Structure 1
Amino acid sequence: MAEQPLTGKRVLVTRPAHQAANLIAQLSALGAEPLALPLLEIVPTQTGDAAYQTVKSRILDLDLYQGVIFVSANAAAIGTQWVDEYWPQLPIGVQWLAIGAATAARLEAEGIPAYHVAGGFDSEALLADPLLQDVAGQRFLIMRGEAGRELLATTLEARGATVHYADLYRRVCPAHDKELIQSTIYDQRLSVILITSGQALEHLLALAGTEPDLLSTELIVPSPRIADLARARGFTRIRIADGPDDTSMIRAIRPAD
């Protein structure tokens, strides 16, 4: 029988529903009891949305940019649909960049050769790469979700670049009823909660409140930034994984000291 080191652990999986299956399967194989509670729903920008015409204009102007940056696998999935619609052949002279290996893999699967920082999974890693140090006079398009982090744009602009956004989707809080929240989080004590974004953390608190049983549950996050957010919101047992990917998040789950 395969080793099952996570036997007895009830693990709350909060990834969007369309991204959680692999993580749930791996946790089950290791003996854990994964409980799915998606805390983000990805809603693509549609005709009639305020951002739609801006996104279309940016995509039509892809050949005017020296670099196009996809901030997430969701941005890659939705962004490549836009690119396919308006660019049967990729524009020449554009450097395609991805934040994280999963984002790069999604772009590669769609035929876009993307550069990413090996081992890096956030804006800070990409900004530290030599490729983005001397960018004065260059134009960049950031493919992202609405109201994402500003660090990438502000840093590139400080280095002399011109930066535009294409807001490809919105992240909304799924409509979970109180009965599901109660049965998933409170009826039986959780061992671990996996959170991979600050917005998912806020949605968890909005849905489940700030009960001591929740705030004292071990929380695994992918970065010091999200750890700081969780600490400020009252969580007392926080562990930082090596990254937001499934393997790193699972590796961070271990018996309590």
Structure 2
Amino acid sequence: MRVLVTRPQPGACETGVRLAALGFEPVVVPLTEIVPLAAAIGADVIDAVAVTSANAIRHASPAIFAALGGKPVFAVGKRTGAAAREAGLDVIDEDAGDAEGLARRISAVFSAPAYVTVLCGRVRRDILETRLRAAGHRVRLIETYDTLPLEPSDAALAAALGDRPVGGVLVYSANGARQLCRLIERPVIGTKLADATFYCLSARIADALDRVGPDRKKIAAQPAEEPLLALLNVHIGL
């Protein structure tokens, strides 16, 4: 089965490799792109570090890593934890799963008020900082990257999709879902996705696919790629 991957690079190609290993035919068409920001870090007190994505690590500067050296790091998931470790950070927790879990785990270790530095993207929900502040912590945000929409041309879409239909679509973000809804209106892609099932990282992302019927949307058990690919496997096997 052909599976459309809509996440930004370099994650899109990484997902494509994983899909091919599982026996699927990946079709990589990123609908958003990650761009680095010139983030700086001061000499503020740091009790703990929270990292919301691997992209936050990929685009952080050496000066940021130097300032965070030796500080306990809470990563949202194992892939983010692996990226933080590779950058030389001291990861003590990588099993939160989402922003709410990240806030709970930090509060379980540190009494308020703790000074928490958050490495994150500019485009995000404010759940983590809101939960941490509500718990009495002091939060400093360091935005290391931005997420921008992509508008592939009809020619680029036709070249990527070819002549055969796509059976599944992996949707990783609400921004990507909204981009996808706009693209579905274009015949060059809409006809290829006419019978596709959309596999979403979360219910919020599925809700953003407002041009897709509920019977064509599946939601991962947890907001991570492993459960998403497991869902794809299980659904195809039924």
TM-score between both structures, scaled by the size of structure 2: 0.83
Q: Partner of 2:90 in structure 1? A: 113
Amino acid at match of 1:110: A
Report the alpha carbon displacement of residue 68 of structure 1 after superposing the two structures with TM: 1.8
Q: Is the 8 A contact 1:137 1:161 kept in 2?
A: yes
Structure 1 or 2: more strand by fraction: 2
Amino acid at match of 2:50: I
Q: Is the 8 A contact 1:10 1:33 kept in 2?
A: yes
> Aligned residues, how many?
231
Cα distance in 1 for residues equivalent to 2:118 and 2:68: 17
Amino acid at match of 2:202: S
Of the three residues 50, 59, 67, the one matched with 2:48 is 67
Cα distance in 2 for residues equivalent to 1:91 and 1:29: 36
Q: Is the 8 A contact 2:197 2:217 kept in 1?
A: yes
Report the alpha carbon displacement of residue 139 of structure 1 after superposing the two structures with TM: 1.8
Give the alignment of 1:33-44 within 5 angstroms. Answer: 33-44=25-36
Aligned pair 1:98/2:61, yes or no? no
The verdict on how the C-alpha distance between 1:216 and 1:127 changes in structure 2, with shifts beyond 3 A counting, is farther
The verdict on how the C-alpha distance between 1:244 and 1:156 changes in structure 2, with shifts beyond 3 A counting, is closer
Deviations 1:134-153 (A, max 9, x none): 64222222211113110111
The answer for unaligned runs of 5 or more in structure 2 is: none
Of the three residues 106, 112, 132, the one matched with 2:107 is 132
Identity value in percent: 26
Of the three residues 163, 166, 170, the one matched with 2:146 is 170
What SS does the aligned partner of 2:165 have? coil
Cα distance in 2 for residues equivalent to 1:220 and 1:102: 20
Bigger mean CA offset, 104-113 vs 28-37: 28-37
Q: Is the 8 A contact 1:80 1:107 kept in 2?
A: no
Report the alpha carbon displacement of residue 11 of structure 1 after superposing the two structures with TM: 0.3
The verdict on how the C-alpha distance between 1:82 and 1:70 changes in structure 2, with shifts beyond 3 A counting, is farther
The verdict on how the C-alpha distance between 1:186 and 1:90 changes in structure 2, with shifts beyond 3 A counting, is closer
Cα distance in 1 for residues equivalent to 2:142 and 2:94: 22
Cα distance in 1 for residues equivalent to 2:57 and 2:170: 23
Deviations 1:17-44 (A, max 9, x none): 2123332123223332210001221100
Cα distance in 2 for residues equivalent to 1:30 and 1:95: 36
Give the alignment of 1:90-239 within 5 angstroms. Answer: 90=68, 94-118=71-95, 120-129=96-105, 131-133=106-108, 135-182=111-158, 184=160, 187-209=163-185, 214=193, 217-230=196-209, 232-236=210-214, 237-239=216-218
TM-score between both structures, scaled by the size of structure 1: 0.78
Cα distance in 2 for residues equivalent to 1:21 and 1:69: 26
Amino acid at match of 2:58: A
Q: Is the 8 A contact 1:11 1:190 kept in 2?
A: yes
Q: Is the 8 A contact 2:37 2:59 kept in 1?
A: no
After superposition, the CA RMSD in angstroms is 2.7
Report the alpha carbon displacement of residue 186 of structure 1 after superposing the two structures with TM: 8.7
The verdict on how the C-alpha distance between 1:90 and 1:65 changes in structure 2, with shifts beyond 3 A counting, is closer
The verdict on how the C-alpha distance between 1:29 and 1:160 changes in structure 2, with shifts beyond 3 A counting, is closer
Amino acid at match of 1:249: L
Q: Is the 8 A contact 2:81 2:94 kept in 1?
A: no
The verdict on how the C-alpha distance between 1:32 and 1:147 changes in structure 2, with shifts beyond 3 A counting, is closer
